[in-house]
Structure formats: structure tokens, C-alpha cells
Amino acid sequence: MSLPDPQGNDDRDDSLPFERLLAEISTLFINLPADRIDEEIAAAQKLVCAHLDIDRSTLWEATATDSEVFVLRHYHQPPSLPSPPQRMNAKEFFPWISRQILLGETIVISNVSDLPAEAGRDQETFRRYGARASVLVPLRVGREKVFGVISFNSTQRERSWTMMEVQRFEMVAQVFANALARKRSEQDLQERLRFETLLTDISARFLALPPDRVDDAIEDALRRIGESLGLELCLLWQWSEETGGLALTHLHRSRECPPLPSPMDVDTHFPWARERIAAGEIITVSSIADLPGEAARDLETCRRIGVRSLCFLPLSAAEGTSFGAVSFCCLHEQSAWPETIVSRLRLLAQVFTNALARHRADRMVRQAEQRLRLITNALPVLISYVGPDLRYRFNNEAYRTWFGVDPESARGRTIAEVAGEEFFRSAKPYLERALSGEAVRCTLEGLTVNGRPLSLEAFYVPDLDERGGLRGLCILGLDVTERNLALQEARRLQDELFHAGRVITLGELVGTLAHEISQPLSAIMSNAQAARRFLAAPAPDLGEVLEILDDIVKENVRAGEVITRLRSFLRKENMEVKPLDLNAALREIAVLLRSDARQHGITTSLELDPQLPAVLGDKVQLQQVMLNLVMNAFEAIKECQAPERSVRIRTWSQGQEILAAVTDSGKGIAPEEIEHIFRPFYTTKPRGLGLGLSLCRSIITNHRGRLWAENNPSGGAIFYIRLPAAPPANPA
Ligand code: ADP
């Protein structure tokens, strides 16, 4: 539908009453699509002017960003008159009138010259554009905010407007206002939708973005927002880790925008804004002229770039972490930054914040992993992490040297695939224990990729969540091959040394031991000769001969016993640890010592606890210690002339420990030497080696026990041995 043509086509009807015209115009607008409203307003304006004898009419709409800046939408006037400006700031052109218009009042001016003195600026504008009388009606819907103004002017003469005329102008203004309001709200809605779609688009893009594309995506988003909202300069600032200031990291600059100072940072160029951003404030500055005095530096920057209005929004996450700020600048006009725009920019800031937070978290995870890799690669230890499926999630470089596997390619493969089936089989029982939540330490044997035998001390440490569920296992492996070989060698050398110690000790006993053997031998000899004599008699007493033979057997047993002890004592065997009866071991040595004791008039007493628990140890080594201690005791007695010459050998138990002591009535030990005597090669004897006690201490320490010496208050020395009792035998 179109309105009747006022210039007089076929259906022109000059007598159409105004009410009918108005009714038709109103009806026309009811279902008119929004994009046709403007063209129909233009037509209607022309028609109304013709009808009401108006030679000039202008219709202005406030801009979206500033309610006092008006854009000329429609005008109707004779071609001879100067065209009105396309855009006007009401404060500059009509300061007096616009104040009232914005309050919603109609202004009726019959003669422009009658305007009051304070409306001088307004008067001037009227004159410049040739208006002599004018009615100005605000455009608004109900009591809502005025969003425009329509003027009806007479350019030929002054005119006193009738009440009826003014009412008609107001009615026309209302019809136009309604139509325009509908157009505006539809446009608004569309714009909101467009913006929301843009925002959703941007957020969605950030979601699945690889870290190296985040920067491009931020710049692209700034460009799209800038273009969509007509903002020439959009900047993103982030806190710099080096300087602690806000540095410019991303920007969109329209073609009209001059180059920015470089480098640019908030601290230098917008110090006033920086303080506010740090406090989490949003800053909107409609006109840079409104910047406070203390923002002189900020103002200078704006002037340099040509910024006329600007808005800063902090980028802060909900939990308070601040990532920086975004700022948007208008260069071509001032912007009042209405709430509709600011709320959209806030949403955008949120999208950026989320993207930066995710980016930062990703970066931190990557850095942490790099650090972990650096540390774990520097260690000569096999380090990995497997999931509950025993597939590797992390491996260090040691996997390359030990198993010939690239740590990256090991990820996702099973232990059996990487370390070999055989190795996995030996590790499996321990892995199963670790999978059930127990921290396991074990030694595994295998081969490296070069075929070198490998002894691995492995630690399987379960990684449990708060509820005790297994997340995976941390695996550490130490190559103990060389350590084990060195240990074996050390043990062998030690055994040799202990053996040498025994040889030396027995060497010292050789004289008395020869006596110990030769005595029974000569007894056997004289018994055998006696038996012979008996048997040579004409009527031999066989009972007597039998007794002699019994004696021979006894003496033989005695000599045999000494030889057996000697042999077992001199045997060169590896240390064999098992529960043993210390008392019995002591009795055996007593056999080797009795001649020596007798020869030097020393009484040896054994006070052995019959309830003594077993001790865990090597029998020969413990005998070696006791023999040494007793022989030292004999020597200490030989060296002094004390009337009492005795050595006591005692055993007893105390809790889970077994104690043995050798007490002598010898010369005792000088207090300052009591610790020195255990040092190797420490001796006070002219022909001593000084090795006995140091070997004894090594042996006892190897048995997790302790050997020490004290002086007996009544004279002589006491050597103590403390050893852990063997755990009770398993009833099974
Ligand atoms: P060696 O018997 O060859 O000297 P040891 O290591 O057995 O080597 O003894 C070191 C020193 O400890 C002895 O030279 C002696 O001075 C002192 N010593 C050992 N046992 C006794 C003891 N029962 N009484 C006094 N001194 C002792």
C-alpha cells in the first residue's frame, strides 16, 4: 500500500480531511515491515507538509551511543533552501530548545525573533537554515526516553500556529514515533542477535583451539567486534611476568586509525586507567574532555591517536585472577557507552578471560611437564608412570639407553611391549601388589638392549586418589648391577680377611694345639704298648686289655675332636647366616683353648644361660670373635702378675637381644685407649698385628650387633657382644 501523492496524481484529494490522512498513515504503519518504515515516513512527511501547508520539515533520530547527538533521517523542503546538516550535536545547534525537547516538551515558535535571549544560539541556527516559525515535537513512546525530534517550519513568513495545528503536528509525531520505535526495537533485537551469534561464534572457536592458534583467534575476535560495533581501535592488554605491568599483546586497528606508539603499555600510556583496571573497575569515557585532571597522560595518549571516547574492561576470572584488560576506542565520534553496549563488551571480556585462563592453564601444565622431563632426564634412574592398564603415560630418557625405546613412542605401550615379556613376567607379582595399593620395592634381573645383564632395584609407588582409588603407578628403577657386583666382591674380600684372621689366631695357638694333639697321641702310644705287653703274657687278662682299648678310643676321640674343630674353623666358606645355638658354639671353642689355659694356669669358666634363644648368624665367624676375645684375655693375664688368673665366658638374654661377655683378670685397658683398640693395626704387643679386634667388630656389625669394651672395676677388662635374637621359627 502507498499513500496518496500530494503532488497531484489521479487519486489526489486535497480536501482529504487531516484525520482521514492520519488514520490512513497509522493503518499503513501497523503491519509494515521494519525495513520499509523509513521510506513510508518520508512519503508521509511530504504528504503531511503539503496538507498542513508546511514548506519545511526535518526528522532527527538520536544516535545509539549519545542521546544528544542527532542524525537527520528525513527532511522535506523546497530545493532552494540550504540542506540541513546530516548530523548535529543538539548542545551545539539548539542548546536551549534541545533541553526542553529532551524533557518531552513540544516547542512552538511563531517568530524566531521572539526567542528569549538565552536562546541566541538556537536563533542563529534557525536563521542559518531559513526557518522563521517552527513547531518542534519530541519523538518518544509513552513516558519513555525521547529518541528524536520532528520539526515543522515556515520559511516564508512568521506564523502563529493554531492549537489545532500544533495538536495535528503532535499526532503526526506520535504516529511516526510509534513506527520508528518499532523499527528501532526490531533493529535492536536484530543487532543483539547478531552480536550474540558473533559472541557464540567466538567462544566456540576458542573452545577447540590448539594453544598456538590462541593469539590469532584473539586478534580475529577483536577485529570482528570492532567492525560489528564500529569501534576503530580494540586492544587487549596482559599482565607482563617480566615487568609486572600491563603490556599490549593483541590489537585491532581500523584503516582510519593512525599507528600506535611502540612499545605501548598501559603503565606508560594510560597510568590513570591502569589504577582503575587493577582495582577491577570498568572505565567508560564518553568524551576524552571528561577525563579528570589526574588523567593528563591518558588524555595525551588519546589525543595522539585521535581517540574521542574509550572504554576499558578488566579481564578477571570469577575466582579473582586478573589476566589484564580490553579497551575499545571510538575515533570518529564520541560514544556515551550505553549499558547495552557495555554489557555486550563485558560478555566479550568474559570470553577472552576464559580463553586466556585456559591458555595459561595449558601453558602451565606444559611448562610443568617440561620441567619434570628435564629433571627426570637428568637422573640416571629409570622413571615412568603407568595407568592401571599398565600402559606408559610418561617415560624418561633412561628408557632409550636401557631398553632402546624412544620415551615419546613408549607412551601408550605396555610394560611387556617396552621392557620385554621376560622382564614383565618377573615384575608381574610385584606389579600386582602395587596395583592393589601397596608400595613395593624389589630387585629384578634382566638384560639391557645391548645384552648387558641388568640388576634393577625397582620401586612401584601407587598413585591413589582422595577415595583410595588407583590412578596409576609411579615406577622408579635403579641400575644396581655394578653396586651388586661391588658388594659381592667386598663380601668375598671380607670373607678372605676373616679367614686370614682365623689363620693368624690359630697360628698363635699352634704350640698349645700341638700339645693338645700330641698328648692323646702319646697316651695312645703308651696304652697300645701296655696292651701289647698284656697280650704277650701267657695268660693275658682280656678285661684289662679291653679297658686299655677303651682308653685308646677315648684319647683318639679327644685328638679327633681337636682336629675336627680346627678343620671346621679353618674352612674357607662364604658367610652362612642361620639360627644357631651360641652356647654350643662357645663350648666347641673351649676345646681349642683348654691346653693354652692349663699351660698358663688360667681357669676358664663357662656360665652359659640354658634358656638362651637362638641367634641369627654365621657360626664360624662368631666363634672367631669369641676365640679372639678369650685369647686376648689370656694374653692380658699373661702380661700381669696378678694372683688371680681367670677368664669368665658368660651368655644371657635381654628382651629380643642376646649378650655375651668375656671377663678377664688381666691388666685392663687404659681409659684413653678403650676406643682405639678397635682400630685396625692398633696393638700394644711387641709381636701383635692389631687386626683381631677390628675384624671382630666388623663381624659383629655385619650381624647387626655391637661389640664394646669396658674395664672391670675390680680389675681386668670385659668385652661385651650384643646380638639380635633370631626371630621365632615359623611353626609351619
Ligand atoms: P693384637 O692382639 O694383635 O694386639 P687386637 O686387635 O686383638 O690385636 O688387640 C688390640 C689391642 O687391644 C691389644 O694390643 C691390647 O692392647 C688391647 N687389648 C685387647 N684385648 C685386651 C684385654 N682383654 N685386656 C687388655 N687389653 C686388651
Residue written as grid cell 668375598: 492
Nearest to 692, CA basis, from 617, 649, 647, 629: 629
Q: Which structural domain, as residue segments, surrounds residue 498?
A: 489-574
**Domain CATH number, residue 569:** 1.20.120
**Domain CATH number, residue 641:** 3.30.565.10
Nearest CA to ligand 1 atom 19: 632
37 lies in some domain: yes
155 lies in some domain: yes
In this structure, the answer to whether residues 278 and 394 fall within a common structural domain is no
In this structure, the answer to whether residues 100 and 55 fall within a common structural domain is yes
Ligand 1: does its nearest atom lie under 6 Å from the Cβ of 689? yes
Centroid of ligand 1 to alpha carbon of 628 (angstroms) = 9
In this structure, the answer to whether residues 437 and 498 fall within a common structural domain is no
Would you call 193 helix, strand, or coil by DSSP?
Answer: helix
Q: Say how far apart CA 481 and CA 618 lie, in whole Å.
A: 26
Parallel, antiparallel or unpaired: strands 392-395 and 440-447? unpaired
Nearest to 662, CA basis, from 650, 645, 677: 650
196 lies in some domain: no
In this structure, the answer to whether residues 286 and 388 fall within a common structural domain is no
Ligand 1: does its nearest atom lie under 6 Å from the Cβ of 683? yes
Grid coordinates of 276: 582503575
9 lies in some domain: no
Q: Say how far apart CA 489 and CA 139 lie, in whole Å.
A: 105
Ligand 1: does its nearest atom lie under 6 Å from the Cβ of 666? yes
The identity of residue 44, as a single letter, is A
Q: C-alpha distances in angstroms, 229 versus 66, 90, 324?
A: 14, 23, 22
Q: Say how far apart CA 647 and CA 497 lie, in whole Å.
A: 27
24 lies in some domain: yes
The identity of residue 128, as a single letter, is R
Bond prior to 263 in cis (omega within 30° of 0) = yes
**Domain CATH number, residue 39:** 3.30.450.40
Residue written as grid cell 704298648: 529
Number of Cβ within a 10 Å radius of residue 387? 14
Domain boundary (364, 396, 411) is at: 364
Q: Say how far apart CA 396 and CA 419 lie, in whole Å.
A: 14
Q: Rg of the chain over CA atoms, in angstroms?
A: 56
Residues 6+ apart with CB under 8 A from 442: 427, 430, 457, 458, 460
In this structure, the answer to whether residues 38 and 140 fall within a common structural domain is yes
Give strand pairing partners of 34: none
Q: Say how far apart CA 108 and CA 165 lie, in whole Å.
A: 11
What is the model's pTM?
0.54
Order of strands, edge to edge, in the sheet holding 453-464?
392-395, 382-386, 470-479, 453-464, 440-447
Nearest CA to ligand 1 atom 23: 633
Instruction: Report pLDDT for 4.
Output: 43
Would you call 8 helix, strand, or coil by DSSP?
Answer: coil
In this structure, the answer to whether residues 569 and 585 fall within a common structural domain is no
pLDDT tens track for 520-544: 898 899 899 989 988 988 888 888 8
Instruction: Report pLDDT for 192.
Output: 84
Alpha helices in 539-611 (DSSP H): 542-570, 582-599
Low-confidence ranges of the chain (pLDDT < 50): 1-15, 732
Number of domains the chain contains: 5
Centroid of ligand 1 to alpha carbon of 612 (angstroms) = 28
Instruction: Report pLDDT for 68.
Output: 83
Would you call 516 helix, strand, or coil by DSSP?
Answer: helix
Ligand 1: does its nearest atom lie under 6 Å from the Cβ of 684? yes
Instruction: Report pLDDT for 16.
Output: 55
Grid coordinates of 431: 606389579
Q: Say how far apart CA 440 and CA 435 lie, in whole Å.
A: 10
In this structure, the answer to whether residues 89 and 234 fall within a common structural domain is no
Q: C-alpha distances in angstroms, 463 versus 9, 458, 471, 657?
A: 92, 16, 5, 39
Number of separate helices (H) and strands (E) present in the chain: 20, 23
In this structure, the answer to whether residues 471 and 500 fall within a common structural domain is no
Domain boundary (574, 595, 612) is at: 574
Phi, psi of 134 (to 5 degrees): -155, 145
Contact 95, 118 (CB under 8 A): no
Concatenated DSSP letters of 388-443: TTSBEEEE-THHHHHH---HHHHTT-BHHHHH-HHHHHHHHHHHHHHHTT--EEEE
Number of Cβ within a 10 Å radius of residue 129? 20
Instruction: Report pLDDT for 9.
Output: 42
In this structure, the answer to whether residues 493 and 465 fall within a common structural domain is no
Dihedral sign from CA coordinates of 578, 581, 583, 584: negative
In this structure, the answer to whether residues 502 and 464 fall within a common structural domain is no
Domain boundary (554, 574, 594) is at: 574
Residues 6+ apart with CB under 8 A from 69: 62, 63, 87, 88, 89, 90, 333, 334
Grid coordinates of 387: 595407568
Ligand 1: does its nearest atom lie under 6 Å from the Cβ of 669? yes
- Answer left, alpha or beta for residue 462, where phi above 0 means left and psi between -120 and 50 means alpha: beta
- To test the ligand 1 pocket, which listed residue (632, 634, 681) has its Cβ within 8 A of the most ligand atoms? 632
Nearest to 140, CA basis, from 96, 181, 106, 107: 181
Instruction: Report how far apart the first and last C-alpha atoms of the chain are (Å, whole number).
Output: 110
In this structure, the answer to whether residues 46 and 168 fall within a common structural domain is yes
Ligand 1: does its nearest atom lie under 6 Å from the Cβ of 112? no
* Ligand 1 atom at minimum distance from 693 CA: 6
In this structure, the answer to whether residues 612 and 687 fall within a common structural domain is yes
Mean pLDDT, the chain, rounded, equals 89
Contact 242, 383 (CB under 8 A): no
- To test the ligand 1 pocket, which listed residue (498, 667, 693, 712) has its Cβ within 8 A of the most ligand atoms? 693
Contact 707, 632 (CB under 8 A): no
Burial of 19: CB neighbours in 10 Å, binned 0-12, 13-18, 19+: exposed
Instruction: Report pLDDT for 30.
Output: 87
Number of Cβ within a 10 Å radius of residue 546? 11
Grid coordinates of 601: 694356669
Instruction: Report pLDDT for 14.
Output: 45
Residue written as grid cell 489526489: 12
Ligand 1: does its nearest atom lie under 6 Å from the Cβ of 693? yes
Instruction: Report pLDDT for 661.
Output: 97
* Ligand 1 atom at minimum distance from 682 CA: 10
Concatenated DSSP letters of 335-386: ----HHHHHHHHHHHHHHHHHHHHHHHHHHHHHHHHHHHHHHHHSSSEEEEE
372 lies in some domain: no
**Domain CATH number, residue 399:** 3.30.450.20
Ligand 1: does its nearest atom lie under 6 Å from the Cβ of 664? yes
pLDDT tens track for 68-90: 889 999 999 888 888 888 988 88
Ligand 1: does its nearest atom lie under 6 Å from the Cβ of 632? yes
2 lies in some domain: no
194 lies in some domain: no
